[in-house]
Structure 1
Amino acid sequence: MTAITAGAVKALREKTGLPMMECKKALTESSGDEEKAILWLRENGKVKQLNRTDRTTEFGRVGIYTDGEKGAMVEFKCESAPVTQLEEFIALADDLAKVYAETPSVTSAEELLAQPSTIKPGSTLGDLKDDMFNRIREVFNVGRMVRVEGATGGYSHNSSTVSGVLVEVEGNNAEAVKDVAMHIAAMSPSVLSKDDIDAALVEKERSILKAAAMNEDSSKPENIIDKMVEGRLRNFYAQVALLEQPFVKEPKQTVSKYAEENGVKIKSFTHWVIGDDAAPSEEASEG
């Protein structure tokens, strides 16, 4: 039997976009010959995207699943905006999230696609993805994935900006948690609390505010200037820290206060925007 090298499997996977095990099986069936392996895959209905590495998936949807005890969020990407509105695309994005939430052993997109679908018995998630490619002729990719063990809530925004939010909490108030998730989608905080902001960044802002306050009135005692600065820092905190932000539905109270009044403690959040995955994803949690 011809030995199948990891390099050969990788090369075939890059050409076909298929899972590693599918590529290894094809090479094994073809005695290691790549062209014969591709032919074998085509004859068995497996090859879906030969020579399509130049095609980008800049659009997509964020599938979200929560059940009160756990939650997950999966980014499912495609080539064009209209496809994101198809019922089958939406259903598969949500199914990816559900299966990921319910299968802790899964650690990669490849492993996730190999799992059975919950919306079409007898088919894997990868089968559904491949079937869509065959009919729609667009490349589909699974992007970022996150799973949370514990009470969660989520929100998917699919208007001019497509984004998804998953919030981990303590407490049981689904409506309040969804409100917080919607706030995150609208206001894009970077961190959970002001304590999570980089100390050097805070000191830099403090110095700028102090210089500005002294220029306004240099006759004020330094302790008064310092109090003014600390007061103004609250506006800075509210720009980046979720718990310090005025709640969008009731700006007179902070998100922290809103959550507290509704029996919820926010532990962490993840916020993704489709198209920003070149930058680090926003994942904020308790320090």
Structure 2
Amino acid sequence: MTAITAGAVKALREKTGLPMMECKKALTESNGDEEKAILWLRENGKVKGIKRGDRATEFGRVSIFTEGGKGAMVEFKCESAPVTKLDEFIALADDLARVYASDSSITTAEELLAKPSTIKEGQTLGDLKDDMFNRIREVFNIGRMTRVEGSAGGYSHNSSTVSGVLVEYEGDNEDAVRDIAMHVAAMNPSVLSKDDLDPALVEKERAILKAAAMNEDSSKPENIIDKMVEGRLRSFYAQEALLEQPFVKEPKQTVGQYAKDNGVTVKAFTHWVIGDDAAPSEEAAEG
């Protein structure tokens, strides 16, 4: 029997949009012949059409599930904006997040798709995805996935800009956590606290601010210049660090102070925007 290579499986997956395991099975049944594998898939009702190589999944939905001391966020992508509004697309995206949150053994999209759906008895998540592909004739892909084992809250914005925020926290004020998640979506901090900033980046900013302060008035003593610089660095921290930012709903206090006043400790956050795939697959900021 011909050995089935990972490259052959990947190539068939790119043409059909089907899970890796389905493609491997088809190639095994067809002794490695791609055309016969496609025919086998069609004959077995797995796929009715072949994916063109240029069909990009640039739209989608970010679904979040938080319940029972765990949480998950999953990016589910498609080819066109109208499909993101379909009830079945939304239901499957939400089911993906729900199942992923409940099963810590899942590490890949293929493993997630192999799990039973909670909305269609007797079918896997992959079955539902394949059924949508066969009826709607669009390609669907799972993008980024992240999971929290612990208290989590979130916010997803699935309108003009599609984004999602998952927050890991300690405390019992879910409304405050949602407010913080909404703040993250609006202000896009890069790290949790100023201590998480790259020291080299901070030193570079400090040097720039010191040079600017000295140009303003070189007669000032160096210790005064240094105090001025540290004060101005607070604005830099507020641009980058979540806990240092003025809270959008009450700019007179920082997010860190708002969290503290509401009995919440933010441990980490993840913020995704569909379309920023050039960024790392999981943009988590941890403290």
> How does the TM-score come out when normalised to structure 1?
0.95
Q: Look up the match of 1:282.
A: 283
Mapped to 2, the partners of 1:133 and 1:218 lie a distance apart of: 68
Q: Look up the match of 1:228.
A: 228
Mapped to 2, the partners of 1:32 and 1:203 lie a distance apart of: 57
Report the AA paired with residue 282 of structure 1: E
Q: After TM superposition, give the deviation of residue 19 of structure 1 in Å.
A: 2.1
Q: Look up the match of 1:87.
A: 87
Q: Deviations over 1:155-187 (max 9, x none)?
A: 001222110000000111110000000000000
Task: Structure 1: state its 5+ residue gaps.
Answer: none
Q: After TM superposition, give the deviation of residue 49 of structure 1 in Å.
A: 5.0
Q: Look up the match of 2:63.
A: 63
Report the AA paired with residue 278 of structure 2: A
Report the AA paired with residue 285 of structure 1: E
Mapped to 2, the partners of 1:159 and 1:48 lie a distance apart of: 31
Q: Look up the match of 1:74.
A: 74
Task: Structure 2: state its 5+ residue gaps.
Answer: none
Name segments (4+ residues, structure 1) moved above 6 Å.
none
Of residues 65-74 and 130-139 in structure 1, the stretch that sits farther from structure 2 once superposed is 130-139
Mapped to 2, the partners of 1:204 and 1:12 lie a distance apart of: 48
Report the AA paired with residue 189 of structure 2: P
The answer on 1:164 being equivalent to 2:164 is: yes
Mapped to 1, the partners of 2:215 and 2:177 lie a distance apart of: 43
Aligned 1:33-48 pairs, distance under 5 A: 33-48=33-48
Mapped to 1, the partners of 2:33 and 2:221 lie a distance apart of: 81
Mapped to 1, the partners of 2:95 and 2:230 lie a distance apart of: 47
Count of residue pairs the alignment pairs up: 285
Q: Look up the match of 1:213.
A: 213
SS in 2 for 1:71: strand
Aligned 1:101-140 pairs, distance under 5 A: 101-140=101-140
Mapped to 2, the partners of 1:217 and 1:188 lie a distance apart of: 35
Q: Look up the match of 1:53.
A: 53
SS in 1 for 2:105: coil
Report the AA paired with residue 123 of structure 2: S
Report the AA paired with residue 4 of structure 2: T
Q: Look up the match of 1:251.
A: 251
Q: Deviations over 1:209-253 (max 9, x none)?
A: 111112222222211111111011000000000000000000000
Of residues 153-162 and 43-52 in structure 1, the stretch that sits farther from structure 2 once superposed is 43-52
Q: Kindly tell me: are residues 225 and 167 of structure 1, through their superposed partners in 2, closer, same or farther at Cα, counting changes over 3 Å?
A: same
The answer on 1:18 being equivalent to 2:18 is: yes
What is the RMSD of the two structures over their aligned residues, measured on CA atoms? 1.5
Q: 8 Å contact 2:272–2:283 — kept in the other structure? A: yes
Mapped to 2, the partners of 1:277 and 1:184 lie a distance apart of: 18
Of residues 124-133 and 177-186 in structure 1, the stretch that sits farther from structure 2 once superposed is 124-133
> How does the TM-score come out when normalised to structure 2?
0.95
Structure 1 vs Structure 2: percent identity of aligned residues? 81
Q: Deviations over 1:84-106 (max 9, x none)?
A: 11111111111101111111111
Q: After TM superposition, give the deviation of residue 48 of structure 1 in Å.
A: 5.0
Report the AA paired with residue 171 of structure 2: G
Mapped to 1, the partners of 2:27 and 2:260 lie a distance apart of: 58
Q: After TM superposition, give the deviation of residue 68 of structure 1 in Å.
A: 4.2
Report the AA paired with residue 92 of structure 1: L
Q: Deviations over 1:56-77 (max 9, x none)?
A: 0111110100014010000000
Q: After TM superposition, give the deviation of residue 269 of structure 1 in Å.
A: 0.3
Q: Look up the match of 2:183.
A: 183
SS in 2 for 1:257: helix
Report the AA paired with residue 284 of structure 2: E
Mapped to 1, the partners of 2:284 and 2:173 lie a distance apart of: 22
Q: Kindly tell me: are residues 222 and 9 of structure 1, through their superposed partners in 2, closer, same or farther at Cα, counting changes over 3 Å?
A: closer
Q: 8 Å contact 1:17–1:48 — kept in the other structure? A: no
Mapped to 2, the partners of 1:48 and 1:145 lie a distance apart of: 28
SS in 2 for 1:210: helix
SS in 2 for 1:146: strand
